Amino acid sequence: QSGIEQLVKQVDGLSFDAIAEKYQNCHPEINPFDLYRAHLSNVLGDITGVDTSIIYPNLQWTLSLDKGDMVLAAPSLRIKGKKPDELVQEWVQKFPDNDPLFEKPTAVSYFLSFFVKGVPLIQSVIPMIRSFGPEYGRNKFLGLRDPKDPSSGKKRIIVEFSSPNIAKPFHAGHLRSTIIGGFLANLYDGAGWDVIRINYLGDWGKQYGLLALAFNKYGDEEALRNDPINHLFQLYVRINSEMTAEKETIEKKKADGEDVTALEAHSLDEQAREYFRKMTDRDPGAVAQWKRFRDLSITRYQDTYARLNIHFDEYSGESQVSEAAMDAIGKEMEEKKICKEDKGAQIVNFAELVPGKEGKRLERPIVRKRDGTALYLTRDISELLNRHEKYKFDKMIYVVASAQDLHLKQLFKIIELLGHKEIAGKCTHINFGLVLGMSTRRGTVKFLDDILRDVADKMHETMRKNEDKYKQVENPEAVADTLGISSVMVQDMTGKRINNYTFNMEAMTSFEGDTGPYLQYAHARVSSIKRRAGLTDEEIASADLSLLTETHAVNIVRLLAQYPDTVQNTLKTLEPTTVLTYLFKMTHALSSSYDHLQVVGSERELMKARMALYDAAHIVLGNGMRLLGLSPVNR
């Protein structure tokens, strides 16, 4: 840390505060690249005559190290009267020959590429990473209400994710929401926001009346306590098929001209409706029974989420939305002419409310059924406003499959039409594509637990193939479980969120290619170096880093220095793949370096220096993996 502070003073004679004052979001004390950008802006300001505040945000990173560490596209500075490629040539000429941080830039058409000098980078970044440890890459300034005032307090974000439906399968959409949502919550937490994690359970509606009927008929107390999720699901399946059969019988009789009035009045469908009515009327018996189903399910979910390093601050759910609140909003919508009657139901006819194509695209959702019951959308409207009231959030993210794009657009638009444009503006839908062919050897998966157990088994099998290494692992079951979870998560986070992908057990559990197991292997390998070298932290800290002259060493440090910037960029993309791609780039650089940068067996001073390098890499790799929600393994 002090290394970088010295560098800041040396380079431009500035202090951290002076730099933070000059540029927006510029914090060299936690992000080495901020110093490089600030310095480069100063140098280029002199050369180009353009204001440094315009240069600073236009210094972009590169996709790979061979393109440099930063690039500047000349046209982005908007200088009139000269051709960008000529300007670029001129600037190269004028660039100082012995800049302390950068080599002389290279010009490619109208781009300038900048390469950092290895020595000052290594000397400042390695000690910085080692002293920050798990904090490296976190940036508490980003979440401040006023970025320049640490006492201004944190901004608050709600991340709503996972949100499975009780008694129904935990499908791919819930899996992806869990993985992506857990990651986004970590990301905002690392950026200094106050993060509230909400699980909005599907736990309300006529089908839960039906489930209660099923339990009263076929329920088993012990099975409910031992395995609530499966037991409720089985009951639900059973009663549903009964109901379907019953409906068919009634239809047939109807077609034969029989009177089915009595049958219909006592049908399961009708009984479920009546039971659900008792629930919405808060009948004590009905509510107590339903609460038990819900509580037992939540307890079970919590265990599974813990395996994924996920916790929730609130288990909300459709059942938690009050009827009174929905009635009040329903009235308000009527008064404001947002909804109107249509065949006894209340609908929102967007075409009449929102001009042009958008209005048509939003369709005409129902907010009250003819029998007076509220719907999924109605509950979401009420819940959103209630959350705003309760948490006064600055931002809220809904992590829900793209199959519900229309639903969330309708929701946000209704909030806006109600006169809460500002609140609607704080809400974002983070969507994602489908998982195709999500089945395991036990057949189509139903629950998160099944998925995790199957991949863990598969992973265990793979591990057993290498008997020698297998013997060295202390607790193979636990490691197999962790690797299995990593497999699923990495496969999910590999592409952009919106892309569909195919659930492929073989591919995701392989140690070859950019997979979860490979990432874990890379982490275990770099952490084994420290074990084998057996140096103390003081010894490593006293290393002479000027011994790290090899290109491999410099390139690893160039990547390590990018980490805080990568995280900051991820706050813009909100794509796990931004972090994952970075981590794979780093593991590739690491794995090609080992032959060139031996630690064990090298002369002592060299060993210390290289150990410092790999220790820093170990820290960054671990931080990145934990940000994604993975549990890095050391063996």
Binding residues (CB under 6 A) for ligand ARG: these are: 160, 163, 165, 200, 202, 380, 398, 400
Indicate the residue whose CB is closest to ligand ARG: 202
CB 133 within 8 A of CB 171: no
DSSP 104-129: PPEEETTEEEE-B-HHHHHHHHHHHH
Q: How far is the CB of 165 from ligand ARG (least distance, A)?
A: 5
Length of the chain: 635
Place of tokens 């609607």: 424
For the bound state, the minimum distance from the C-beta of residue 395 to ligand ARG, rounded and expressed in Å, comes to 15
At its nearest, how many Å lie between ligand ARG and the CB of residue 513? 32
If residue 188 lies in a helix (H) or strand (E), which one and from where to where? helix 172-190
Catalytic machinery residues: 168, 171, 174
Task: Find the shortest distance in angstroms from Cβ 380 to ligand ARG.
Answer: 5
**Cβ 101 vs Cβ 117: under 8 Å:** yes
Per DSSP, the residues of 500-532 read -EE--HHHHT-SSSS-HHHHHHHHHHHHHHHHH
251 to 242, 244, 256, 512: CA distances (angstroms): 14, 11, 9, 56
Round to whole Å and give the CA distance between 548 and 613: 8
- Determine contact, residues 208/166, Cβ cutoff 8 Å: yes
> Of 411, 333, 382, which is closest to residue 204 (Cα–Cα)?
382
**Which residues on adjacent β-strands are paired with residue 346?**
341, 368
Closest approach, Cβ 400 to ligand ARG, in A, equals: 4
In the complex, the smallest distance separating the C-beta of residue 160 from ligand ARG, rounded to whole angstroms, is 6
CB within 8 Å of 291: residues ≥ 6 apart: none
Torsion of CA 286, 289, 295, 299, to 10 degrees: -160
Per-residue CA distances from 468 to 338, 426, 464, 465 (Å): 69, 54, 9, 9
**Residue 587, amino acid:** T
| Phi, then psi, of 251 in degrees rounded to 5 | -60, -45
* 3-class DSSP assignment, residue 341: strand
Closest to ligand ARG by CB, 56 or 170 = 170
Provide the strand spans (E) within 258-414: 314-317, 340-342, 345-347, 366-368, 395-399
Closest distance between ligand ARG and the C-beta of residue 517, in Å? 30
Closer residue to ligand ARG, CB minimum distance, 132 or 276: 276
Judged by beta carbon, residue 160 or residue 565, the one nearer ligand ARG is 160
Distance of closest approach, residue 248 Cβ to ligand ARG, in angstroms: 27
